[in-house]
């Protein structure tokens, strides 16, 4: 396992981080399997576990808490807030009112007195930077969080939050967690240059592109997966974006074969090759899935392989732009772009 410094924090983290989104009903991963995954990950040198209150409405956090009991100090523990938790309209967002409550709920579910990294799961356009940053700064000063970061923020919001923190003399986001893979490279155009400029650590989620780069999705194969039943459009071959992805996967498979790599090694090696990326978040549902992904822990792609990837999916390109999660609200709501 390789390690890198998380932004400018001085904290050393593994280049593969364990994402716990699949723990519980979402991934059909029970407590025994989740604990076995955590055991195997820690044994392999993974020292980051990332979860969120939204995952299974708290179920993932509870399972992570049970899995890490007795060894919390060896783990860089991260969770998130802002996504809706139930129907109550104020049980979401980046307000001080909600963040204080959400963190207490997360700490209780995790069975800990602090988290190392508390992340805003999404930008909340209804809440000012001053409101959110001041609440996070107070929680940090109270010792309940060590650092705080953002997740899936548009580049301009990352910049705005950094300037707000400086102007208001508040703590700042020290990490960003964007979606990044060979098939979704849009963050290379704006987000990653900004995170590098401000010295943010980057934890890249979905480096296997929701399973497209796992090696299981190939032309002529039945692509019915657990994820395809949850998100049926994600693998529908009738959609142009999926046909483009499948074509890219076939060409990438040839690159991997020629280099003596698995598709997983190619995919994870690509993400961790970017100088702006600190760690790639893997989200296994089983121990076998984890082991296949851990095989990429020491993968370093040579320049010719990276050039071959660029020839298949151009830098800064999203093959499925409709699946982006950092699109500015004005592009989604016509009323926001018309007088």
Which residues belong to the active site? 55
DSSP structural state of residue 259: H
3-state DSSP assignment of residue 45: coil
Query: What does the alpha-carbon distance between residue 14 and residue 272 come to, in Å, rounded to a whole number?
Result: 11
Which residue pairs from 320-323 have beta carbons closer than 8 angstroms and sit at least 24 positions apart in sequence? Answer: 320/183, 320/184, 320/241, 320/242, 320/244, 320/245, 321/186, 321/241, 322/241, 323/184, 323/234, 323/241
Do the bridges between strand 12-14 and strand 3-5 make them parallel or antiparallel, or are there none, so unpaired?
antiparallel
Q: How far apart are the first and last CA of the chain?
A: 54
- What is the enclosing helix (H) or strand (E) of 14? strand 12-14
Q: Name 127's Cβ contacts closer than 8 Å, sequence gap at least 6.
A: 93, 94, 95
Do you know the residue count of the chain?
339
* Contact yes or no for 173/162 (Cβ under 8 A): yes
3-state DSSP assignment of residue 209: helix
Phi, psi dihedral angles at 5 (to 5 degrees): -80, 135
Q: Is the dihedral of CA 263, 200, 51, 325 positive or negative?
A: negative
* Contact yes or no for 189/320 (Cβ under 8 A): no
């Amino acid at each position: 396992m390789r390690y890198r410094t998380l932004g400018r924090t001085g904290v050393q983290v593994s280049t593969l981080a364990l994402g716990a989104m699949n723990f519980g009903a979402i991934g059909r991963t029970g407590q025994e399997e989740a604990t076995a995954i955590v055991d195997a990950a820690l044994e392999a040198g993974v020292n980051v576990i990332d979860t969120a209150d939204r995952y299974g409405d708290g179920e993932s956090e509870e399972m992570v808490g049970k899995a890490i009991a007795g060894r919390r100090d060896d783990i860089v523990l991260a969770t998130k807030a802002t996504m809706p938790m139930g129907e109550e309209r104020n049980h979401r967002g980046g307000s001080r009112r909600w963040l204080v409550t959400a963190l207490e709920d997360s700490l209780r579910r995790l069975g800990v007195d602090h988290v190392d990294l508390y992340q805003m799961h999404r930008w909340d356009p209804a809440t000012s930077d001053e409101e959110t940053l001041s609440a996070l700064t107070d929680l940090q000063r109270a010792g309940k969080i060590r650092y705080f970061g953002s997740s899936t923020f548009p580049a301009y919001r990352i910049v705005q939050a950094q300037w707000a923190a400086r102007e208001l003399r508040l703590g700042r986001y020290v990490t960003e967690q964007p979606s990044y893979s060979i098939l979704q490279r849009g963050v290379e155009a704006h987000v990653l240059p900004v995170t590098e400029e401000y010295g943010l650590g980057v934890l890249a989620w979905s480096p296997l592109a929701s399973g497209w780069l796992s090696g299981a999705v190939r032309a002529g194969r039945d692509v019915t997966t657990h994820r395809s039943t949850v998100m049926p459009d994600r693998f529908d071959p009738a959609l142009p974006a999926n046909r483009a992805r499948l074509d890219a996967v076939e060409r990438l498979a040839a690159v991997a074969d020629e280099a003596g790599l698995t598709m997983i090694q190619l995919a994870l090696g690509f993400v961790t090759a970017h100088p702006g990326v600190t760690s790639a978040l893997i989200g296994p549902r089983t121990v076998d899935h984890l082991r296949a992904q851990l095989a990429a822990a020491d993968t370093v792609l040579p320049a010719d392989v990276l050039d071959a990837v660029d020839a298949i999916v151009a830098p800064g390109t999203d093959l499925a732009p409709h699946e982006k999660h950092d699109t500015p609200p004005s592009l989604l709501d016509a009323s926001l772009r018309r007088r």
